[in-house]
Chains A and B, each alone.
Chain A
Amino acid sequence: MSTHFVFLATCLLGAVLPTSLHAASPQQPIAYNHNLHVSELEIPCTECHIGAESADHATLPPKEICATCHEDGPIGESDEEAKLIEFIEGPDPIEWIRLTRVSEHVHFSHRRHVKAGQLLCERCHGQMAEHEVPITRPAISFRREIGMQRCIACHKESGNARATVDCVLCHR
């Protein structure tokens, strides 16, 4: 009797858990194809993430940036592009879901790393250019893969004299 109960409970959990996990994963308003834009069309990351070279935050692109290429109507036949055109023509902004976050106590300046340090985006964000559909969790987690140890190791290896390991350089 108890064996049957455990078996049934496991089956039920197996059926419910993936659904709930799927529901928790963020759904971007448009299934943006990084592979098409970055790998095939060779658009640099900083063309859309405009803050990466000039500010602390790289920023997620507002629809005005998309409109610079897509304003005159659809370029292809994708349903996702049709959604984009609707956004561009409509009053609503595109509410991209931000996945990558650094901890509250860390001050990370994109400008410092991308512009001054000439660091490639994939060093921290992984191979975003390979993704044809939006990722549902950060390509590289700042909690797991990128801890303080990795920051310090990179600063020491960089050979850049400005990349010191002074605590207040990164800790707010």
Chain B
Amino acid sequence: MSETTSQLRERRWGMVIDLDRCTGCGACVAACKAENNVPEVSRRDAFSGRVMNWIRVAHSESQERHGPSAAYPILCLHCDDPPCTKVCPVHATYVGVDGIVGQTYPRCIGCRYCMGACPYTVKVFNWHEPQWESELRAHTNPDVSLRPKGVVEKCTFCSHRLQTARDDAACESRDVEESDYQPACVEVCPARAMTFGDLRDPNSDVSSMARSPRSHRMLEELGTEPSVIYLKERERRV
């Protein structure tokens, strides 16, 4: 294995979400939709539970009367041992060299096994051809495909941005640095609740935050080893 391939494989892109900082404003949701050409759905589909989002913000109500509610951004957790890739009959979803769980839309046959296997329910199915208001259609991101009807889609950690960062680095004969690549949700978070970087680099911000006693992974007991790590809320006094 050459040096660069080895370096690529040693990377594991991951995200730390500090729930103490998250205000649940939804900027990440809007940024994700715009960046990744995630289409709007009709009111009828929305009521049927077919809302298309690659990231959503769940709100948990406090057990205490007048207690604070907690916002909980949920996106594809890019597991190291993902259940979704194991059930895909056509290898449309797989763990990539950087630990990013990729979704190859032209390969997807829309069987939705992966949606059933994902314990975090972060994959969404295209029930219809993507549709936008006429003005918004002109503003879709050319780096990201418009997924057709009948395929499953999900967060890719904005991997098209990683491709651009790789190209930039390759043209300058250097390796990709952490600062070269940030997903859209991390970039726009006004509360700086999201931190993105290389989990294998012990000196990175995400690594040190992941080692925090406040850190936990969603449904940790399943052993899926997610790359998205949450920092627990501290005790709050009302």
Q: A172–B145 Cα gap in the complex (Å)?
A: 5
Main secondary structure on A side of the interface with B: loop
Contact across chains for A167 and B170 when beta carbons are under 8 A apart: no
Q: Is A15 an interface residue (CB 8 A)?
A: no
Q: Tell me the chain B residues, 91-121 only, with Cβ under 8 Å from chain A.
A: 94, 96-97, 100, 102-107
A69 vs chain B, min Cβ distance (A): 27
Q: Is B144 an interface residue (CB 8 A)?
A: yes
Contact across chains for A167 and B167 when beta carbons are under 8 A apart: no
Among candidates B5, B8, B105, B156, residue contacting A105 with C-beta atoms closer than 8 Å: B105
Q: Tell me the chain B residues, 1-15 only, with Cβ under 8 Å from chain A.
A: 2-5, 8
A152 vs chain B, min Cβ distance (A): 14
Q: A164–B3 Cα gap in the complex (Å)?
A: 13
Q: Is B224 an interface residue (CB 8 A)?
A: no
B149 vs chain A, min Cβ distance (A): 14
Q: Is A137 an interface residue (CB 8 A)?
A: no
Q: Tell me the chain A residues, 43-63 only, with Cβ under 8 Å from chain B.
A: none
Contact across chains for A111 and B94 when beta carbons are under 8 A apart: no
Contact across chains for B4 and A161 when beta carbons are under 8 A apart: yes
Decide: A166 near B106, CB < 8 A? Known: A109-B167, A111-B171, A116-B170: no
A156 vs chain B, min Cβ distance (A): 12
Q: Is A169 an interface residue (CB 8 A)?
A: yes
Q: Is B159 an interface residue (CB 8 A)?
A: yes
Q: Please report the number of residue pairs spanning A and B whose Cβ atoms sit closer than 8 angstroms.
A: 61
Decide: A115 near B171, CB < 8 A? Known: A107-B143, A167-B102, A168-B156: yes
Interface size class for chain A?
10 to 19
A101 vs chain B, min Cβ distance (A): 15
Contact across chains for A162 and B96 when beta carbons are under 8 A apart: no
Contact across chains for A168 and B170 when beta carbons are under 8 A apart: no
Among candidates B100, B104, B159, B166, residue contacting A162 with C-beta atoms closer than 8 Å: B166
Contact across chains for A109 and B106 when beta carbons are under 8 A apart: no
Among candidates A117, A162, A171, residue contacting B105 with C-beta atoms closer than 8 Å: A171
Q: Is B163 an interface residue (CB 8 A)?
A: yes
Contact across chains for A172 and B144 when beta carbons are under 8 A apart: yes
Among candidates B4, B5, B105, B171, residue contacting A172 with C-beta atoms closer than 8 Å: B105
Can you report 17 residue pairs joining A to B where beta carbons are below 8 Å apart? A105-B105, A107-B145, A107-B163, A112-B163, A116-B167, A159-B2, A161-B3, A161-B4, A164-B8, A164-B97, A167-B96, A167-B102, A167-B104, A168-B103, A171-B106, A171-B107, A172-B145
**Supplied contacts A168-B96, A168-B100, 9 more A-B pairs, CB within 8 Å:** A107-B163, A109-B163, A112-B166, A162-B4, A162-B8, A162-B170, A168-B156, A171-B106, A172-B105
Taking beta carbons and an 8 Å cutoff, which residues of B are in contact with A? 2-5, 8, 94, 96-97, 100, 102-107, 143-145, 156, 159-160, 163, 166-167, 170-171
Which 8 A-B pairs give the minimum distances between C-beta atoms?
Answer: A116-B170, A161-B4, A172-B145, A161-B5, A161-B2, A168-B102, A105-B106, A167-B104
Taking beta carbons and an 8 Å cutoff, which residues of A are in contact with B? 104-105, 107, 109, 111-112, 115-117, 159, 161-162, 164, 166-169, 171-172
